[in-house]
Amino acid sequence: MASHSCSFIIIPDASSECKRFTVSKSLIWGFLASAVLVIFLIGGVLYVMISEYRAMAMKAGQLDKLKKISVSQKNTIDRYEQDITQLSKHLAHIQQLNSRLMVLSGLDPAQNNDGKGIGGGDELESSSEEVNTGENGELLETEP
């Protein structure tokens, strides 16, 4: 009949007595199963931690690239703001010159001009006279 336990003998140096331990096989199998389970759990936790570390390292690399892009875009936006400010100053100067020219030409810049000086209509106004055009679409003089 098979034995249900294992005996361990510890042999110390020559002056001490031998010690004997008896442990059941089910306890040994339970200990081995627990050890294997713990090893798998530690391996799984390490795998997850390493994969998270790699993902974080990739994100850190992307963060550096995005910081460089952000600085570049901020510099571009600052230049655009300076350009817009400069263009606004030029526009104000042009409007001031326009109002001076209007005063010199005898027009009141504060008065609404109702579209005077903006340009003519898009279509020719119809009149009682006929308009003669040449072959190329150019206007020809008509005799009254």
* Per-residue pLDDT of the chain in tens (144 residues, 90 and over written 9): 567 888 888 888 877 888 888 989 999 999 999 999 999 999 999 999 999 999 999 999 999 999 999 999 999 999 999 999 999 999 999 999 998 888 888 887 676 555 555 555 555 554 445 556 666 556 665 555
Considering the domain boundaries, does residue 127 fall inside one? Answer: no
- pLDDT for the residue numbered 116: 56
Residue 128 lies in a domain: no
Q: Model pTM greater than 0.75?
A: no
Enclosing domain of residue 88? 21-105
Pairing label, strands 132-133, 19-24: unpaired
Task: Give CA–CA dist 41/33, Å, rounded.
Answer: 12
Q: How many domains does the chain have?
A: 1
pLDDT value for 74: 96
Matching residue, tokens 């798998």:
40
Is residue 132 domain-resident?
no
